[in-house]
Structure 1
Amino acid sequence: MNPLLTAAAAVVLCFLLHGAAASGDRPFPPRFTSIFSFGSSYSDTGNFVLQSAGLPSIPFNHSPYGDTFFRRPTGRPSDGRLPIDFIAEALGLPLVPPFLAKEANDFGGGGGANFAIVGGTALDVGDYRYLLSGGKSLEQAKSFVPEVVRAICRGVERLVEEGARYVVVTGTLPAGCMPMELTKYAAYDRRTGCLRRLNGLAQYHNWVLREAVERMRGKYPTTKLVYADFYKPVASLVRRPAKFGFTQQPLKACCGGGGPYNYNPGAACGSPGASTCGDPSAYVNWDGIHLTEAAYKYVAGGWLNGVYAYPSEDHGQILHSRALLRSCNKAL
């Protein structure tokens, strides 16, 4: 799984809600009842592990994955919770179960379901990572951005047509700041240490996607469509980690098999050849590809309070009252 794949399978969150109840002339804010999630490893709460049952063991189902919060592996590709978990907690909903789990098959029970899976993409050709691995140049990969965004938009429109009235579409992370990519390529940005051209591809994708979401807002005026920025919060952590409480090198993975970025594909996190840092909360990156729970907490907080959600009015369109904002802050 590669960070660029998230650009191809944007995390899409659909919220189902009850109608607002009236009290005099002041309606109560809508209450969300369910979350349905679609995406890749940045929101997979266990589908990949469940799908791979019976196959040779995979790292996501081994300690230290999940150790920080759950105290056991849950199939999440991190040391703890993902952004979708923080959002569910903040909205007073149960953590969204993976679709392949038995308890997720009854949608009537509320809570929703998570269809995200490690390696999920928008196009059958595997999108940007497949193209780059196949020898295509970054410019050639860039030419696929409109097609990838159209595929994401088709998915969003299908959800809206099926009745979704509140949809959050995320962009992708700065792939050029991920240890896995830094281990393979050169041409670093002297200021950040990241890979400029890979980040340029991610930024272009995000720009096209955000513009497309804005156009869909005009097409579906009765649906709340929000673009959640995944790039800016992670870039902020990379540029000024100490400001946000991250004391370790932000481009180095907490769990890995050595090397300058602690990433070694031959000794991946969770395998016998890897080791884990003593304090994951001091790190931005978890395993060379995915972020730590602490970093995801910062990202989710920025989406919930509107700093990294667009349009930003009403606290990023996710929050509807000061009471809910306080509950979000408490949960985060």
Structure 2
Amino acid sequence: MTGRGVVISNANPLSYEAIFNFGDSISDTGNAEAVYPPLNKNSPYGSTYFKHPSGRMSNGRLIIDFIDHGDIKKGVNFAFAGASALDMEYFIRTGVKPPPSNMSLSVQLDWFKKLKPSLCKSKEGFTSYKVEIMKACCGGSGPYHVDEKFCGGPGTTVCFDPSKLINWDGNHLTEAAYMLIAKGLVEGPFANPALKSAPFKIT
């Protein structure tokens, strides 16, 4: 901490590729407005920054506005004004006054699950198809290309591009997977601290 009361962190910043936000009006940047009638254009909401109502329950930007890139590949904001962490069934069952919105956390998580396949990109060049990524490159005809047949033996096949898969033969990984593990050990984040003084770069 400096003499002026500013906190300085010495920790190395983590590299995040995307942010997926869930919540209520504290971070809703327009989802509820897409469902409910918009506020009057003369409403003071949004007046400081947007100069008009923007679907945000504030006079301007929210926390997520300052850190979100606005690119769907960089993340998605599922927050919905009036949402609760508990499902509507809980409030009905217990007789507690329900929240103004039924877009609970579980509903938002369900949106995320449905959207996730279209957002997922390959694990460092690996295939992103959830079934294929678990298959062995070399093996027989069993589930996930693995059975009692030994890789290279009669009745086995080898995938066209081993660099797209993590699993080599059911028990061992591919060179591509081992390379990434090695990179994680030498360059981080698997070693703490990372071996930054290593005189070579793994490629």
TM class, shorter-chain normalised? 0.3 to 0.5
More strand by share: 1
TM-score by length of 2: 0.37
More helix by share: 1
Bigger Cα Rg: 2
Using CA pairs below 8 Å that are at least 6 residues apart, which structure has the higher relative contact order? 1
TM-score by length of 1: 0.23
